[in-house]
Amino acid sequence: MPEGERVRIIEASARRVGRAVFFSILVTLVSFAPLLFLTGQEEKLFTPLVLTKTFVMIGSAITAIFVVPLLMRLLMKGRLRPESQNPLSRFFIRLYGPVIRWALRWKKTVLAVSLLVVLGSIPVIINIGSEFMPPLDEGSLLFMPVTLPDVSNAEAKRILQVQDRLIKSVPEVKNVLGKAGRANTATDNAPISMIESIILLKPRAEWREGMTQEKLIAELDEKVRIPGVTNGWTMPIINRINMLATGIRTDVGVKVYGNNLDTLYRLSVDIEKALKGVEGLTDLYTERLTGGKYLDIQVKRDQLGRYGLSLDEVNQVIETALGGMSLTNTIEGRERFSINVRLAQDFRNDISEIQRTLIQTRQAGPVPLSAVADIKMTDGPAMISSENAMLRGTVLFNVRGRDMGNVVEDARQRVADHIKKLPKGYYLEWSGQYENKIRAEKRLQLIIPGVLLIICLILYMTFHSWKEMLIVLSSMPLALIGGVYSLYFFEVNFSVAVAVGFIALFGVAVETGVLMLVYLNESILRLNERKKTQPITPQDLRESVYEGSVLRVRPKLMTVMADMIGLMPVLMTTGVGADVIRPITIPFVFGLITSTIYVLIVLPVIYLWVKEYELKKTGRVEFLDIKE
């Protein structure tokens, strides 16, 4: 073939598909970009993914439009073989040809089956659960039991040691380390009644046969049950994220706001009673606003003058004897230690011993503290929590064995039925991961319609026809159906990660539909060129649609298979992080399968139906030269 003729063919081919390829890539790019408007945890998690794909798609668009035609001119030498002589194309044509002929002959049947598939997915969609993010398996557990507020240091230590020994006896546990109370930091406000034990687990290969994380938690929970202690199970990282972001240390929490601690506690207990028995709701616990024990020392001012004491002198003795006074520091090498002084624990554990604490006077010598002060134990709040300038009570619970969305909806209904009306100035707020879920859903309700609107605009710019735009968009329901059925069969709940997978699916589904429509329009263009002076018959139209569908089946399948094969390793991964990345991949891969089936079979049927209507109404067939 002469060089000039070969260059002309390459140039014509590039111009023929260049516009469609560019706008297809643009659709994929734009459909993913709005995810940059996510906020919170989901923003930090998915922004790197969005930016990576964005730059890759920009590079692929530049390569497809400018580099590939140049490489074709440099590397494609000699005789060019038609598509029909490619062995792979012949194989796919032999399989696909009879199917598309049958579909073009039985258009109503194909469209009816497609409609039934869409309608049949409605019950599946209704039964799919929802959650904020898929729970990430961190490889370790965090055990957070809570006991009564007035527990002593010795009893809290005993409970901690007993539970840690029981936990360590389970074969799957590698190590366990617990603490009671708060660390020496201003960010840890845990009371002595709250215990935290980090449980390091052995690799999954060393677990007992058939053991899962859910079964392991159930076994550990049964083993460490102690009267008066409420168990709670979570994982270390997500627990810290929840506490920092929402102030809730479990999956979900009900915050009760008001102005009186007693009323808040009463409402919290009523909510706890209402929530008992909700399926999937576990580790239910109400934060104790009352029940704390305080050592109340009231100085007898009328007795101070008798002994020649001042109020500051008595308070200094109390502070030093009970609280401890910092005297100095000691330096040992590179280590620095503070030296405090106070009474030994045996002299601080009993009120009678505290009453006998001696105070040195100038007139009467040493006198007991009981001579100048009334000492007794009083009840009070264990810990006062406030938020938004109001006092706050909290009911905490985790979700296991069921999706968060349905559990919280059932819980909200139970609370609404049980508590008809809150006192004036009091209100409830559902927080924790559920709060993040609601925030993300509201943002996605803006993002997804925006994505669809932008895709419609780009498609109209591509084809300059609303008919072609609607034909391409008709592939989306079938693409979504494949993703929906895959969520049901893999038992995956709808979450932000799944939404990201569906948004990515939108772009690729539209891309394959655009390519099919380009080849169909090209076939109709050739038909019009052959029939310039002759009328076009329905049989001619059907053969033209068949030709446009069959002869380009290989590039259509290559477009989809490249995405599917590239994601197969992600779909089959089981390592750390698979819990988040697989829910993105599952609807994407299986949605591509149904989308491809639709583009190869149903879209040509819809296209033929539209063109037959045009032929019947106007006597001619409209076509779009996509290179214009």
Q: Is residue 256 scored above 70 in pLDDT? A: yes
* Co-location of 627 and 507 in the same domain: yes
Sign for the pseudo-dihedral over CA of 552, 555, 558, 559: negative
Q: What is the pLDDT confidence band of residue 621, given thresholds at 50, 70 and 90?
A: low
Integer Cα distance of 214 and 147 in angstroms = 24
Q: What is the mean pLDDT of residues 10-34?
A: 74
Last residue of a domain, one of 380, 409, 435: 380
Q: Is residue 607 scored above 50 in pLDDT? A: yes
21 lies in some domain: no
Q: What is the mean pLDDT of residues 596-600?
A: 84
260 lies in some domain: no
Helix/strand/coil for 233: strand
Q: What is the mean pLDDT of residues 491-497?
A: 86
Q: Is residue 584 scored above 70 in pLDDT? A: yes
Count of domains for the chain: 3
* Co-location of 493 and 601 in the same domain: yes
Q: What is the pLDDT confidence band of residue 91, given thresholds at 50, 70 and 90?
A: confident
Q: What is the pLDDT of residue 166?
A: 92
Q: What's the CATH number where 152 sits? A: 3.30.70.1430
Q: What's the CATH number where 336 sits? A: 3.30.2090.10
Spatial contact of 143 and 167, defined as CB atoms under 8 Å apart: yes
Q: How many residues does the chain have?
A: 628
Q: What is the pLDDT confidence band of residue 216, given thresholds at 50, 70 and 90?
A: very high
* Co-location of 492 and 623 in the same domain: yes
* Co-location of 606 and 479 in the same domain: yes
Q: What is the pLDDT confidence band of residue 84, given thresholds at 50, 70 and 90?
A: low
Q: What's the CATH number where 511 sits? A: 1.20.1640.10
Nearest Cα residue to 242 out of 435, 7, 445:
435
Helix/strand/coil for 30: helix
Q: Is residue 595 scored above 50 in pLDDT? A: yes
Residues contacting 397, CB < 8 A, separation 6+: 250, 251, 252, 253, 275, 281, 282, 283, 284, 285, 411
Q: Is residue 555 scored above 80 in pLDDT? A: no
Q: What is the pLDDT of residue 628?
A: 46
* Co-location of 174 and 113 in the same domain: no
* Co-location of 588 and 528 in the same domain: yes
Helix/strand/coil for 457: helix
Q: What is the pLDDT of residue 165?
A: 92
Q: What is the pLDDT of residue 618?
A: 72
The model's pLDDT over 339-374, given as tens digits with 9 standing for 90+, comes to: 888 888 888 888 888 888 888 888 778 889 888 899
* Co-location of 600 and 552 in the same domain: yes
Q: What is the pLDDT of residue 270?
A: 92
Q: Which tokens is 164 given?
A: 């840690």
Q: What is the pLDDT of residue 596?
A: 84
Give the mean pLDDT of the chain.
83
* Co-location of 617 and 468 in the same domain: yes
Q: Give the amino acid at 355.
A: Q
Nearest Cα residue to 147 out of 198, 199, 190:
190
23 lies in some domain: no
* Co-location of 375 and 302 in the same domain: yes
What values do phi and psi take at 375, rounded to 5? Answer: -120, 125
* Co-location of 469 and 565 in the same domain: yes
Sign for the pseudo-dihedral over CA of 152, 155, 156, 157: positive
Residue the block writes with tokens 């001012």: 301
330 lies in some domain: yes
The model's pLDDT over 233-254, given as tens digits with 9 standing for 90+, comes to: 888 888 888 888 888 888 898 9
Q: Is residue 591 scored above 70 in pLDDT? A: yes
* Co-location of 353 and 484 in the same domain: no
The model's pLDDT over 507-553, given as tens digits with 9 standing for 90+, comes to: 778 877 887 887 788 887 777 777 776 777 778 888 888 888 887 78
| Report field, pTM of the whole predicted structure over 0.85 | no
Q: What is the pLDDT confidence band of residue 232, given thresholds at 50, 70 and 90?
A: confident
Q: What is the mean pLDDT of residues 429-443?
A: 87
Q: What is the pLDDT of residue 622?
A: 62
Last residue of a domain, one of 185, 213, 234: 234
Helix (H) or strand (E) holding 447: helix 433-463
430 lies in some domain: no
Residue-number span of the structural domain to which 309 is assigned: 293-380
Last residue of a domain, one of 197, 216, 234: 234
599 lies in some domain: yes
The model's pLDDT over 306-344, given as tens digits with 9 standing for 90+, comes to: 888 889 989 988 888 888 888 889 998 888 888 888 888
Helix/strand/coil for 600: helix
* Co-location of 497 and 623 in the same domain: yes
Nearest Cα residue to 229 out of 113, 145, 345:
145
